Amino acid sequence: GAGVSQSPSNKVTEKGKDVELRCDPISGHTALYWYRQRLGQGLEFLIYFQGNSAPDKSGLPSDRFSAERTGESVSTLTIQRTQQEDSAVYLCASSLRRDGYEQYFGPGTRLTVT
Amino acid sequence: AQKVTQAQTEISVVEKEDVTLDCVYETRDTTYYLFWYKQPPSGELVFLIRRNSFDEQNEISGRYSWNFQKSTSSFNFTITASQVVDSAVYFCALSVRPRGNKLVFGAGTILRVKS
């Protein structure tokens, strides 16, 4: 079946512009996660959705970052007034439920802020 | 707080050698889950295995095996008879119930298998 998809695959933007990153989880997966991977580093948790609510936003690095999920499906991560340190691969994952279920990752969106 | 340590930054082996990737975790919770993911050069993370804290049985899947030891807080991963296609970055990760299942990742180990 279809896996997690993300769009765009690559995004180059100028410092100060806003960007939106999209994630389509696996159908039926109620939990959705956003992570960030800086070059050569491990993954950092950003935010977690259970259904359409976000019980854990503890990883969002600043108030320039926000995310929403609608219809228990698609999620959008928005970064306002992008900075060069926002350059990274943004990965989305989904799991059937929370609490110990394995997460399946999308291919990521590579964001470059110039 | 939860923490995962993968002390080996990079390992190089010759094809057909066995290799073990180390993972040490820290948590005060009694219910937790451990994972290994593979990130090949293409970049997409591939799920390999999940273990819960109450199941210390070792697992073998083909050339892959995992050794979970609570006494040493370790969850090591061994590849037997390595192949060039095993070259990737391998991540160990931890999630804790009921903290929403967010994964705490180690820094990753780069495995290079040379022919």
B33 touches chain A (CB under 8 A): yes
User: Over 70: is that where the pLDDT of A78 sits?
Assistant: yes
Query: Where residue B59 falls among pLDDT bands split at 50, 70, 90?
Result: confident
- A-to-B residue pairs, Cβ atoms closer than 8 angstroms: 63
Tell whether A50 lies on the interface with B, counting CB pairs under 8 A: yes
- What is the mean predicted confidence (pLDDT) over A70-98? 93
For residue B42, give every residue at least 6 positions away whose Cβ sits within 8 Å of its Cβ, in sequence order, or none.
none
Q: Is B105 on the interface with A (CB under 8 A)?
A: yes
Task: Find tokens 């050698």 and name the residue.
Answer: B17
Give yes or no for A14 touching B (CB within 8 A).
no
How far, in Å, CA of A78 to CA of A75, rounded?
Answer: 10
Nearest to A56 among B44, B102, B104 (CB): B102
- What integer is the mean pLDDT of B37-64? 91
CB contact under 8 A, A99 and B106: no
- Output the average pLDDT for chain A: 93
| Residue A18 pLDDT grade (very low, low, confident, very high; cuts 50, 70, 90) | very high
Strand stretches in chain B, DSSP E: 3-5, 10-14, 19-21, 24-26, 32-39, 46-52, 59-61, 64-69, 74-79, 88-96, 104-105, 109-114
Helix (H) or strand (E) holding A89: strand A88-95
Q: Which residue has the tokens 């967010």?
A: B102
What strand order describes the sheet that includes A75-79? A5-7, A19-24, A75-79, A65-69
End-to-end CA distance of chain B: 41
Rounded to an integer, what distance in angstroms lies between the CA atom of residue A33 and that of residue A30?
Answer: 10
Please check the confidence at residue A54 and state whether its pLDDT lies above 80.
yes
What are the residues facing B77 on neighbouring strands? B21, B66
- Whether pLDDT at B105 is above 80: yes
Cβ distance B102 to A48 less than 8 Å, yes or no, reads yes
A81-85, B5-9, B20-24, B56-60: the lowest-pLDDT one: B56-60
Query: B97 to chain A: nearest residue by CA?
Result: A99
* Average pLDDT of the residues in A55-69: 94
Picking from B45, B102, B35, B29, the residue whose alpha carbon sits closest to that of residue B75 is B35
- Of A63-77, A92-106, B4-18, the range with the lowest mean pLDDT is A92-106
